[in-house]
Structures are given as C-alpha cells and as structure tokens.
Amino acid sequence: MRSRYSAYVLDDVAYLSQTWHPDFRPRELTIDPDIRFIGLAVIASDQQDRQATVEFEARLLASGQVQAMHEKSAFVKKEGKWLYTTGEMLMPGFQPWKPGRNETCPCGSGKKFKRCCA
C-alpha cells in the first residue's frame, strides 16, 4: 500500500499498473497532473492468508487547497504478490482538510502548515 502511495507521488503509472489486479485495473491508467499527494496516514489494516485491507487517509494538494481522501483498499495475494483490487471511499471524493491552529504540515516537513504547503 505504501509503495503504491509512493508511486502516486512519483507519477509511476507502470508500478501502479503492475500492482493492480488485472480483473479490476482500468484500461487506461492516468494520474491527474493537478493533484499532488503530500501525506499518508494508515488508520487500520487487516491481513489474512491471501486477503488484506488497508484503511488510510491521504492528503493532497489540488487547486491550491489541501484536501483529504479516506479510503479502504482491498488487496489479494496472487503468485506471492499483493495486488490492489478495489477501494471503498469512506467519504465522498476529496474533502477540504482543515488543519488546526499551528498544526504541522501533512507533507512531513515538520514545519507548521501555514509556513509550508499552505
């Protein structure tokens, strides 16, 4: 999951495609160039023999605003590799992320948000 997140950050469409179960993969895979991912928080994860779920919140910059998406992703293990199948959005689409006063930036810089990505 983290490696797929990194692929979104690095615009690595090939990696996203390789780790997406072929039965679920969109025919054309593109990353919206107007979106920049700046942070990831894993909220919960569960793994069984060949199935896993990861619930996460990702923060991103889109049209100059920090937004958040909250998803539960499902993976299956096939030939020793974890493949993404589907994601369930736990809130509709992207929502504006409202940092508290003096909150540190979600990009992980350690700086205050208002002095960093704001």
Contacting positions for Zn ion (CB under 5 A): 105, 107, 109, 116-117
Q: Choose among 112, 96, 114: nearest CA to 104.
A: 112
Residue corresponding to tokens 């039965």: 23
Round to whole Å and give the CA distance between 62 and 92: 16
Cα 76 to Cα 53: distance, rounded to the nearest angstrom: 9
CB of residue 99 to Zn ion, shortest distance in Å: 10
- One-letter amino acid identity for 72? K
The nearer residue to Zn ion, 65 or 86, going by C-beta atoms, is: 65
Give whichever of 76 and 116 is closer to Zn ion, judged by the CB atom. 116
Shortest distance (Å) from residue 97 CB to Zn ion? 12
Nearest to Zn ion of 50, 111 (CB atom): 111
**Closest separation in Å from C-beta 83 to Zn ion:** 31
